[in-house]
């Protein structure tokens, strides 16, 4: 039987593409998109949509009951750069929305939860290259602290209350169809737009800042794959490391130059440099590959080709 899905934060960078994909797989009527406002996006017009405040337990519970929801994808969050500007609200939103959904599962009102974590759970004392699944985790950002605490709560709710919650530590995500949402890795999306519009880009990170990244197609596939996996394959109930590629601003600029030869990049690092410096440069995702068969498809070359193709069409 098809799951009945509620996506909270459906109008965001990941939520938008996830909604379209889940509707294609499970049927439009089985995927209820929701967000804090009714935005003028495809997500709102292409199927059922509800306005919901992720901080309001009663609103979420009401939607779950009315639509007989089985699975919730909780995509509402404040990302790293935005969270530094509003720490109290970031903590409130990132933690309490998670508690609401975990408590609905604990009360057996829903069956399964997807909750995104991030490479931001790692910090300056974490080994930088090939960061292992289990390692030192001392995040230095508000966002990272909230994601690390969230991971602990997911594991706790699984062990103590038997809640089926599944999670991935997303790297920076790159998409042509949806804008990024206030993160430190956002430059890797902006750079493609500016390359096509102006043949130049001023980067807010320094030239050799290497970070783990992933094309949105791969991220959506991973999200659906972990949710579809048999429960016994999910051995990690905090969050799985997930990787596809790692690159620096210099490397992405070099790749873009292959398609737009006069493209120029300059560097003007801002407060986001410190955040980027505290994160891993590359990730070891062996557990995700072994436990539920994760395999990425896009590398820097194929992603750049696909991004430029779609943005040119747009």
Catalytic amino acids? 143
Choose one: 103-111, 179-187, 192-200, 250-258; the region binding ligand AKB (CB under 6 A).
Answer: 179-187
Using CB under 6 A as the criterion, what x/- string covers residues 64-93 for binding ligand AKB?
Answer: ---------------xx-------------
The rounded distance, in Å, linking the Cα atoms of 191 and 205 is 12
Three-state DSSP at 137 gives coil
Min CB(78)–ligand AKB separation in Å: 9
The rounded distance, in Å, linking the Cα atoms of 163 and 100 is 13
Pairing of strands 49-51, 71-74: unpaired
The answer to whether the beta carbons of residues 90 and 82 sit under 8 Å apart is yes
- Interaction between residue 204 and ligand AKB (CB under 6 A): no
Among 118, 126, 178, 278, binds ligand AKB (CB under 6 A): 118
Distances (CA, A) of 25 to 29, 31, 76, 165, 300: 11, 10, 22, 21, 28
Min CB(17)–ligand AKB separation in Å: 14
- Interaction between residue 183 and ligand AKB (CB under 6 A): yes
The answer to whether the beta carbons of residues 47 and 22 sit under 8 Å apart is no
The nearer residue to ligand AKB, 105 or 226, going by C-beta atoms, is: 226
- Interaction between residue 148 and ligand AKB (CB under 6 A): no
Choose one: 45-53, 112-120, 215-223, 287-295; the region binding ligand AKB (CB under 6 A).
Answer: 112-120
Beta strands in the chain (DSSP E): 5-8, 31-35, 49-51, 71-74, 112-118, 164-170, 172-174, 200-203, 211-215, 240-241, 245-247, 264-267
The answer to whether the beta carbons of residues 53 and 8 sit under 8 Å apart is no
The answer to whether the beta carbons of residues 235 and 287 sit under 8 Å apart is yes
- Interaction between residue 16 and ligand AKB (CB under 6 A): no
Among 8, 120, 216, 245, binds ligand AKB (CB under 6 A): 120
- Interaction between residue 176 and ligand AKB (CB under 6 A): no
Choose one: 18-26, 90-98, 181-189, 231-239; the region binding ligand AKB (CB under 6 A).
Answer: 181-189
Min CB(123)–ligand AKB separation in Å: 13
Give contact residues for ligand AKB (rule: CB under 6 A). Answer: 79-80, 118-120, 143, 170, 172-173, 183-185
């Amino acid at each position: 039987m098809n799951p009945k899905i509620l996506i909270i934060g459906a109008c965001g960078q990941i939520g938008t593409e996830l909604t379209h994909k889940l509707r294609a797989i499970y049927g439009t009527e089985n995927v209820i998109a929701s967000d804090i406002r009714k935005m003028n996006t495809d997500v709102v017009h292409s199927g059922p949509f509800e306005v919901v405040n992720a901080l309001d337990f009663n609103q979420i519970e009401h939607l779950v009951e009315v639509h007989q929801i089985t699975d919730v994808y909780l995509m509402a969050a404040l990302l790293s750069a935005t969270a530094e500007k509003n720490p109290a609200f970031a903590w409130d939103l990132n933690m309490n929305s998670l508690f609401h959904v975990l408590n609905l599962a604990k009360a057996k009102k829903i069956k399964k939860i997807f909750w995104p974590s991030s490479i931001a759970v790692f910090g300056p004392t974490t080994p930088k290259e090939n960061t292992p699944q289990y390692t030192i985790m001392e995040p230095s950002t508000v966002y990272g602290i909230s994601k690390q605490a969230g991971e602990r709560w997911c594991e706790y709710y699984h062990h103590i209350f038997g809640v089926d919650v599944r999670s991935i530590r997303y790297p920076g995500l790159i998409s042509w169809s949806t804008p990024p949402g206030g993160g430190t890795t956002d430059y890797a999306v902006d750079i493609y737009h500016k390359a096509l519009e102006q043949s130049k880009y001023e980067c807010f990170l320094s030239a050799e800042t290497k970070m783990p990244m992933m094309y949105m197609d791969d991220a959506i596939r991973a999200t659906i794959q972990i949710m579809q996996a048999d429960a016994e394959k999910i051995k990690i109930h905090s969050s799985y490391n997930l990787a596809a590629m790692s690159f620096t601003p210099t490397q992405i600029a070099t790749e873009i130059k292959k398609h737009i030869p006069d493209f120029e990049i300059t560097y003007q690092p801002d407060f986001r440099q410190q955040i980027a410096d505290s994160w891993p440069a590359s990730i070891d995702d062996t557990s995700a590959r072994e436990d539920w068969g994760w395999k990425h498809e896009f590398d820097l070359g194929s992603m750049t080709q696909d991004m430029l193709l779609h943005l040119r069409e747009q």
